[in-house]
């Protein structure tokens, strides 16, 4: 799952790895988020959990759009992780976030030569709204994707608001609603998403960023010009970096020094895009600083 959604998903999972285990209904109680880069390759999956109390791993791929090669990709990732962590067992789960991510080629089984592999599929919209609303707090932004259609969205947001205001600190509330805004964008239009979250503190800036970013993408699509996308991203970069840094604070469990934020703001759009793909793999601010020093 590429782009801004990837670090958002990783940020949510890093706050509660055991929560994802609960969402998947998998055995175990102690889950640790692991680096997802596969040794001896440049490939990395979306999320890898180590279930410490039962000594096995769960590899998860989050998918919001259709990929006809998904069976092969899951097989490839599972083989890589299986080799890296042998003899521990590695299970793979494909988490389809929207119906448009589903397609007839996704069977949960792949056969490559004499190699057979099966994996689990979680189609989020096939589960009840209540399942979504009972997710651990850090994963609660996924709740609007549970259930079919959009008629329950206002009720879902209302129930989410009750939980977030009761269970989260002010900083956590802002981050949870920011994540919710982007997740809602997978299901409804930007205007509908803004309307659903109207009046919730901290949403104005996030909504502005999403609108500019989406408009840039639309320009690029309609005119066939990469410059259109880049223009939209550039206009929204300051708002986007603000959200970026806030998610990093949650991930690293530490304040982001002003010097590091300044370096991030000075990155080119290409470098910023690369950072969006790799920062979730970093375990400390020192690793982030090393990366920034090498990519000035």
**DSSP secondary structure letters along 199-244:** T-TTHHHHHHHHHHHHHHHHHHHHHT-HHHHHHHHHHTHHHHHHHH
Where does a domain end: 79, 95, 126?
126
Domain ranges, residue 232: 216-294
- Write out the chain's pLDDT in tens, 296 residues: 544 467 788 888 988 899 999 999 999 999 999 988 888 777 888 899 999 999 999 999 999 988 888 888 898 999 999 999 999 999 999 999 999 999 887 888 877 777 788 999 999 999 999 999 999 999 999 999 999 888 899 999 999 999 999 999 888 888 899 889 889 988 998 788 888 888 786 565 444 444 444 444 443 444 444 444 444 445 455 656 776 777 787 778 788 888 888 888 888 777 877 787 677 778 788 888 899 988 87
On whether the pTM is more than 0.85, the answer is no
Total domains in the fold of the chain: 2
| Residue at 142 is within a domain | no
**CATH code, 110:** 3.40.1350
| Residue at 173 is within a domain | no
Where does a domain end: 93, 126, 159?
126
């Amino acid at each position: 799952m590429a782009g801004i959604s990837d670090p958002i998903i990783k940020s949510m999972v890093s706050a509660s790895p055991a929560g994802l285990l609960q969402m998947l209904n998998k055995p175990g109680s102690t889950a640790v988020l692991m680096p997802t880069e596969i040794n001896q390759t440049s490939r990395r999956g979306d999320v890898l959990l180590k279930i410490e109390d039962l000594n096995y791993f769960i590899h998860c791929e989050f998918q919001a759009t259709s990929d006809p090669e998904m069976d092969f990709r899951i097989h490839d990732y599972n083989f890589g992780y299986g080799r890296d962590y042998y003899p521990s067992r590695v299970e793979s789960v494909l988490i389809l976030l929207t119906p448009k991510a589903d397609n007839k080629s996704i069977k949960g089984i792949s056969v490559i030569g004499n190699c057979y592999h099966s994996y689990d599929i979680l189609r989020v919209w096939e589960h009840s709204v209540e399942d979504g609303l009972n997710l651990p707090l850090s994963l609660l932004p996924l709740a609007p994707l549970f259930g079919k259609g959009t008629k329950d969205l206002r009720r879902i947001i209302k129930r989410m608001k009750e939980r977030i205001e009761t269970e989260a600190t002010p900083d956590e509330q802002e981050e949870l609603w920011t994540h919710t805004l982007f997740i809602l964008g997978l299901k409804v239009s930007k205007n509908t998403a803004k309307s659903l979250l109207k009046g919730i503190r901290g949403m104005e800036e996030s909504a502005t960023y999403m609108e500019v970013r989406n408009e840039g993408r639309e320009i690029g699509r309609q005119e066939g010009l990469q410059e259109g996308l880049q223009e939209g991203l550039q206009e929204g970069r300051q708002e986007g970096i603000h959200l970026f840094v806030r998610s990093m604070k949650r991930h690293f469990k530490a304040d982001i020094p002003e010097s590091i934020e300044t370096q991030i703001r000075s990155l080119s759009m290409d470098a910023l895009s690369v950072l969006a793909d790799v920062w979730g793999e970093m375990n400390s601010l020192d690793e982030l600083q090393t990366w920034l020093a090498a990519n000035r």
